Amino acid sequence: MLRLAKKMQDCIFLVVCLVVSSTLAMSVDDGNMVDIDEKKNTTDDLLVDDIHEVPENARSTILGGPGLWKSPVPYVLDKSLDLNAKGVILRAFDQFRVKSCIDFKPRDTEEYYLSFQNLVGCWSYVGRTFFNGQEISIDAGCDHIAIVEHTILHALGFYHEEIRHDRDDYVQINFDNVIAGQEGYFKKLGSDLSATHNVSYDYLSVMHSGKNVLSNGNGSTIITKDHKFQNVIGQRLDMSPRDAQKLKLLYKCNSTVASMFFCDFSNGMMCQMSQMSSCAQSDSEWEVVTQVSSGPSTDHTTLPAGNGENGQETGYFIHANTASGEEGDSAWLETQIMSTKRECKVQCLQFYYFHSGNEQDELNIWIREFQDEHDTKGTLRLMGQITGQSTYHWQIHHVSLNAPKNFRVVFEVRKGAGNSAGGFSIDDINLSETECPHVTLQIDDLEKLLSSSDFGTRIYSPRQYSKEGYAYRVAAILYQSFVGMYVQLLSGDNNDQLEWPCLQKQMTFQLLDQTPNMQKQMSKQIGFVTHQSHMSWGIHWWDNPLTSPWTYVFENGEFLFGGPLVGYPYLASMEELQTREFLKGGSAIFTFNFEDLTPLVNGSSLPCPQVRPMNNTNRSTNRDGGPCFLTGVPGFSPGLAASPVLSLLLAMISMQA
C-alpha cells in the first residue's frame, strides 16, 4: 500500500522538541489505522466509593495537624499495578510538583508511606492515617491522570468539594434522585471537621462530583446555583488552580517544587530580567511593547480563547527590532539567576514567539552557567536557535535544558544579512524542572481547517526518534467535528539494533490548555502502553516495520516502511476545544511523549532523562559582538542565587499546494 503524501495548501507550523525537520505531510488515507478500544471511564462511577474511612476515627484531616504528610511523600508502586497506571501516577506526581509544594520520592525506610496497589477500584483514606504502607488503590480502570490526582488529593487531606460546610450556597442536592441507600455520600461536613481556607467554592475542582453521580435515573443529583456550571462540575482534566491553592494553604507553603519562572509581561514589566550591553556598541535592545507594525498586533496572553474569553486589559510582550542597524547587531536579555532543586538536572523552557523579521535573523537561547560561588562571570552555552521564515501566528516553542548548577537564561536576537520589516517577539515564558514534551504539534486556524478539510484529513509530524532509538511519527486526524491523535512506528537508522516488538512504551497524547501560567493549566491527556496483545490479522502493531510493514511512507525523498497508526479517534471534540484555552487565537497545540516504562516493571521510578546536545548548523561563528559581561548587583555572588533554566529546539514546516 503505497502512500504518497498530498502536499497541504495552507501553512501549518509544527514545533518539535529535540528534532529539526523540513517536511510536514498531509493526506486523506483511510487505511492502516487501529483505534485503542479501551474506554477511559472518567465518570463518577469510578469514584463513588473512593474514600475509605478509619473505624471510629473518620475525621477529615483538612484542618491540618498530624494527618498531614511531610514532603517529599514516600511511595511504593506495587507489582499488582498495571504498567500504564504506574506511568500515569508518575505523570500525576509531576503535576503536583509544578502546581504545589508537595513532592514525592520512592520509599527508603520511612515508616509512613503511600502504597499504590491494584485493590479493585480507585480509593484512598483521607490524610496520613496508617504506618507501614497506607494503601491507595489505582486499578486498571483508574489510570487517568485526573482520577489519580483526585485519589492522591484524598490521601493528602481533601474531601469532595460538594460536601464542604458552605455547599448549600452553591449547589443543591436533589435527594429524590439519589439511589436509595446512597444518601450518605452527600453528607455535609461541619466546619469543625473541614476548612475552606477562605478559598471560594470551586465548580472546577477535580474533587467535585458530576451532576449525575449516584442518580437513580430520574435526573441530576447535584444542581448548581449558578447554572452555567451545571455541565462543568465533575471535570476530569486536571486539578484546578483553586485545588492547588487550597493544597498550598493546607500545607502552609507558597512555593512550588518544579516551577522556576513565569512571565507574561503584564503591566509592562520585564519580570526583573536585565538588558545586556553589546561590546559591538550596537543600539539594539529588547523593549516591552503592546504591538509591532509588522506583527504581532497583540500579545499572546490576551488572545481570544475558544471559550469566548479574552483579557480586557492591555497586553504586553517583549520585542527586539532587526529592521534597522547592521548585520551582526544583537540585543541581549537575561533572567535572574536560577537554582536547580531537583535531583534530575533537567529543565524545560516554554515560550511563545512571533517572527516578523528576515529569514536570516536569529533568536538564540543561551544559558550562562556558574560553577560555584566564586564564579561571577559564568560560561555561555547555546541551547537553541530559531531562524527561517516569518510567522503569522504566535508559535509555541520548547527548549530542553540540562543546567546542573546555578544559571541564567539569555535571549539574544541577532540581525542577519537581509532586509527586515520587524524582528522577534516573545511572550508567556514558563520555566520548570520537568522534561519537555517529545513532540509538539501546533495547528493554526484549526476550526477553519476542520470545517473545510476532507473527513479524515491527516497532518503528520516528521519522523522522530525516541530516547532508545525507535523511529516514529505522530498524526493529527481531522474529522470535521472532532480531532484524533495517532502514533506510527517507522523504519529508521537503528531498526536492526533494537528489540522487537517495541513493548512497555507509554504513548501519551495531550491537548494543551494555553492558559499563560502553566501552574493554572488544565490540559487533557490520555495514553496507553504498548502490549504483547496488540495484534491484528496475526501481525503485531509494534513489530519492526522493516520486517512487518503495514504501509510505505514517502518523506524527504526517501521511502520508509511504517506500522499501523495507533491511537484515539476522539481525542477532542469541537465542543471540548472551545472550553478552557484549548483554542487560542485560533490555534490548538497537541503534544506527545514516548516513554519507556520498563524500569517500572520491578521498580518505582524512572531514570533521569538525558538532554540531547544541540546540533545547530546555522549558528553565527563570529561572537565578537557578543554581550559585555553584566555583573548585576554589587557584592552579589551568582553562585548563591536561585531561579529557572531553558533550552529549545524548533521545526517550522510549511505545506504547499
pLDDT tens-digit series, residues 200-249:
999 999 999 999 999 999 999 999 999 999 999 999 999 999 999 999 99
Measuring CA to CA, which residue among 213, 92, 83 is closest to residue 149?
Answer: 92
At 612, the pLDDT band (50, 70, 90 cuts) reads: confident
* 349-367 pLDDT tens trace: 999 999 999 999 999 999 9
Burial class (CB in 10 A: 0-12, 13-18, 19+), 345: middle
Instruction: Judge if 423 and 468 occupy the same domain.
Output: no
Instruction: Judge if 142 and 269 occupy the same domain.
Output: no
Instruction: Name the β-bridge partners of 134.
Output: 114
51 part of a folded domain: no
47 part of a folded domain: no
Instruction: Judge if 265 and 157 occupy the same domain.
Output: no
pLDDT, residue 9, reads 32
Instruction: Judge if 445 and 310 occupy the same domain.
Output: no
* 376-386 pLDDT tens trace: 899 999 999 99
**Ramachandran angles phi, psi of 250, nearest 5°:** -60, -40
650 part of a folded domain: no
Which of 80-89, 482-491, 617-626 is predicted with the least confidence, judged by mean pLDDT? 617-626
The whole domain housing 496 covers 439-600
pLDDT, residue 567, reads 98
Strands 439-443 and 588-596: antiparallel
Q: What is the DSSP annotation of 462-491?
A: PPEE-TT--EEEEEEEE-SSEEEEEEEEE-
pLDDT, residue 598, reads 98
E strands, 53-185, in order:
73-77, 104-106, 114-117, 122-125, 134-138, 171-173
608 part of a folded domain: no
Percent of the chain with pLDDT over 90: 76
* CATH number of residue 579's parent domain: 2.60.210.10
Instruction: Judge if 210 and 130 occupy the same domain.
Output: yes
Q: What is the DSSP annotation of 161-172?
A: GGGSTTGGGTEE
How high does pLDDT run on average in the chain? 87
Query: What is the DSSP-derived secondary structure letter of residue 627?
Result: B
At 192, the pLDDT band (50, 70, 90 cuts) reads: confident
- Rounded to whole angstroms, the Cα distance separating 473 from 486 reads 9
Instruction: Judge if 112 and 220 occupy the same domain.
Output: yes
Instruction: Judge if 353 and 290 occupy the same domain.
Output: yes
274 part of a folded domain: yes
Contact 280, 330 (CB under 8 A): yes
610 part of a folded domain: no
pLDDT, residue 65, reads 77
- Rounded to whole angstroms, the Cα distance separating 315 from 321 reads 19
Whether residue 29 has pLDDT greater than 70: no
- Rounded to whole angstroms, the Cα distance separating 625 from 547 reads 53
Instruction: Name the β-bridge partners of 288.
Output: 318
* CATH number of residue 315's parent domain: 2.60.120.200
Whether residue 313 has pLDDT greater than 50: yes
Query: What is the DSSP-derived secondary structure letter of residue 196?
Result: -
Instruction: Judge if 377 and 518 occupy the same domain.
Output: no
Percent of the chain with pLDDT over 70: 83
b/e map 346-359, b = 16+ CB within 10 Å: bbbbbbbbbbbbbe
Binding residues for Zn(2+), as ranges, are 150, 154, 160
The span from the first CA to the last CA of the chain, in angstroms, equals 23
CB-based contacts of 217-224 (< 8 A; 24+ apart in sequence) = 218/176, 218/177, 219/174, 219/177, 220/174, 220/177, 221/173, 221/174, 221/175, 221/177, 221/178, 221/186, 222/162, 222/171, 222/172, 222/173, 222/174, 223/171, 223/172, 223/173, 223/174, 224/170, 224/171
Whether residue 280 has pLDDT greater than 80: no
Residue at a domain's end among 415, 432, 449: 432
Instruction: Judge if 344 and 364 occupy the same domain.
Output: yes
313 part of a folded domain: yes
216 part of a folded domain: yes
Whether residue 344 has pLDDT greater than 80: yes
Residue at a domain's end among 251, 270, 287: 251
The residue whose grid cell reads 484549548 is 582
Span 86-105, average pLDDT: 99
Residue at a domain's end among 600, 615, 630: 600
The model's pTM is 0.89
Binding residues, as ranges, are 150, 154, 160
**Tally of domains in the chain:** 3
Instruction: Judge if 185 and 218 occupy the same domain.
Output: yes
Instruction: Judge if 292 and 198 occupy the same domain.
Output: no
Instruction: Judge if 385 and 246 occupy the same domain.
Output: no
Q: What is the DSSP annotation of 235-281?
A: --SS--HHHHHHHHHHTT----SSEEEEE--GGG--TT-EEE-BTT-
Whether residue 114 has pLDDT greater than 90: yes
- Mention every residue, 6+ apart, whose C-beta is less than 8 A from residue 254: 101, 248
